[in-house]
Amino acid sequence: MNTVGATTRLAIIDHGEPVVRFLAAIGTLGRDPRFAYTTIVVHPLAATPWYAREADEALFVPAGTDAAGVVAALRDAGVTALVCGDAAAYAPVVDLLAEAESTGLHVVGCGAQALARLSDPAALAAVGSEAGVTVDPGASNYRDLEVDTLTDAHGTTWTLGVREVTVRSGDHLVLAEYPAVLAPEVARGMEEAARTLVRASGATGAVTVSFTLADDEVTYAVCRAAASRPVHAGVEETTGASFVELQLRVNAGETLGEAPPQGDGATVEASLLALDPLREGEATGGALRLLSLPVGTGVRVDASRREDDVVDPESDPSSRRSRPGDAIAVRRSPASGALSTGWASSSTAA
């Protein structure tokens, strides 16, 4: 596995809180010479975005630039390595990673070849068939669940429990519960299936495996690289281990232990979205005029927004706008354990 050194100029292609989490993890490792990165946040916005303010540099690359154009811009900026999360403003992540690898840039995390096997439905079906894991991206679902995995270059794969991500507003996650409420044998089966799929793909680094659960039948849905997603907070809070820091250590050639850190307790993560419930969840944006975040024992806030930051309604709707008195009603089904949600007035929400 290639590792990176003290003079690494690391480009981060993503947006929003994942970028902030990655920058924070690098900051905590800054005294170790193996992690002395110069960080460059790549963005398509006219002004430097809020999530790049803790980076060493920000690099503007216009939206719509193809993979070759993005990589050329990185090389012109002296970039030697990159981590790629959501690259929707430019090109498919697999294409970007393949172009980067072909020019000699080091990729932090899952490489293009393995990610192609995991993200392409036909290729993934073949991996699942060979590994004995049911793969059906079109399966109907009642509950959506995820398993985070981390694999080092020496063949050790960790699975870090099962997370529930059923409650959504369109494409945006509203609630994440960790660990998911499941029968122990179902949770163990999901973790083993995730471990088997990732190993069979040849991936290293962090990969999230998603499952659907309907009528007690578990099927695999999709796989993706997972650099620094906000939902990793559940794993971090219950185990005390930084998911992003672990990825950086694996990238530096360190070996994972025989067993992953064990969690203690449970977490529920709520996202505040700039979506208007009176307009069928339409994305709203603009400057954030007032922000007051909760504090207290057992409360963690993963938000780097400040008042007057601009909320991008398309890519980063990180605060919810609704009429006064609105609230989210959250219920758990006694039969299945699944969470559900709906908009309700504050007088009726439980």
pLDDT for 333 equals 47
| Same domain flag for 138 and 191 | yes
Tell me, yes or no, whether 125 and 240 share the same domain.
yes
Confidence of residue 140 (pLDDT cuts 50, 70, 90): low
Contact 44, 59 (CB under 8 A): no
Quick one: pLDDT at residue 243?
87
Note whether 219 and 164 are same-domain residues: yes
Tell me the backbone φ, ψ of residue 128, rounded to 5 degrees. Answer: -65, -40
Q: How far is CA 331 from the centre of its chain?
A: 25
Mean pLDDT across the stretch 219-248? Answer: 77
The closest alpha carbon to 227, from 35, 30, 83, 17, belongs to 83
Pair 36, 166 in one domain: no
User: 129 and 224, same structural domain?
Assistant: yes
Give me the pLDDT at residue 215, please: 67
Q: What is the mean pLDDT of residues 325-350?
A: 37
Predicted confidence (pLDDT) at residue 254 exceeds the cutoff of 50: yes
Which tens digits make up the pLDDT trace of 56-71?
999 999 999 999 999 9
Q: Facing residues of 276 across strands?
A: 282
Radius of gyration from C-alpha coordinates of the chain: 20
Q: The CATH number of the domain where 7 resides is what?
A: 3.40.50.20
Task: Measure the CA dihedral 112/109/263/185, to 10°.
Answer: 20
Same domain? For 280 and 291 the reply is: yes
Residue 350 lies in a domain: no
Round to whole Å and give the CA distance between 83 and 251: 11
283 pLDDT above the threshold of 90? no
Distance CA 241, CA 150 (A): 13
Dist. CA 173–CA 50, nearest whole Å: 21
Instruction: State the pLDDT at residue 179.
Output: 93
**177-189 pLDDT, tens digit each:** 999 999 999 899 9
Kindly report the three-state secondary structure assignment for every residue of 151-183.
ECCCCCEEEEEEEECCCEECCEECEEEECCCCC
- Distance from C-alpha of 128 to C-alpha of 139, rounded to nearest angstrom: 15
Contact 103, 35 (CB under 8 A): no
Q: Which of 91, 108, 125 is the last residue of a domain?
A: 108
Number of domains present in the structure of the chain = 3
Domain end residue (candidates: 222, 256, 271): 271
Q: Which residues contact 155 (CB under 8 A, 6 or more apart)?
A: 199
- Indicate if 206 and 323 belong to the same structural domain: no
Q: Among 5-14, 106-115, 218-227, which is the least confidently predicted range?
A: 218-227
CB 188: neighbour CB atoms within 10 A? 13
pLDDT of 338 over the 60 cut = no
The pTM assigned to this predicted structure is 0.82
CATH assignment at residue 264 = 3.30.470.20
Q: Which of 130-139, 153-162, 292-301, 316-325 has the lowest average pLDDT?
A: 316-325
Extended strands (E) in 36-169: 38-43, 57-60, 81-84, 106-107, 143-151, 157-164, 168-169
Residue 70 and residue 127 in one domain: no
Burial (CB count within 10 angstroms: exposed 0-12, middle 13-18, buried 19+), residue 348 = exposed
User: Would you state the pLDDT for residue 316?
Assistant: 66
Q: Are residues 152 and 187 in the same domain?
A: yes
Residue 312 domain boundaries: 274-297+306-345
Question: In the listed set 73, 91, 108, which residue is the last one of a domain according to the structure?
Answer: 108
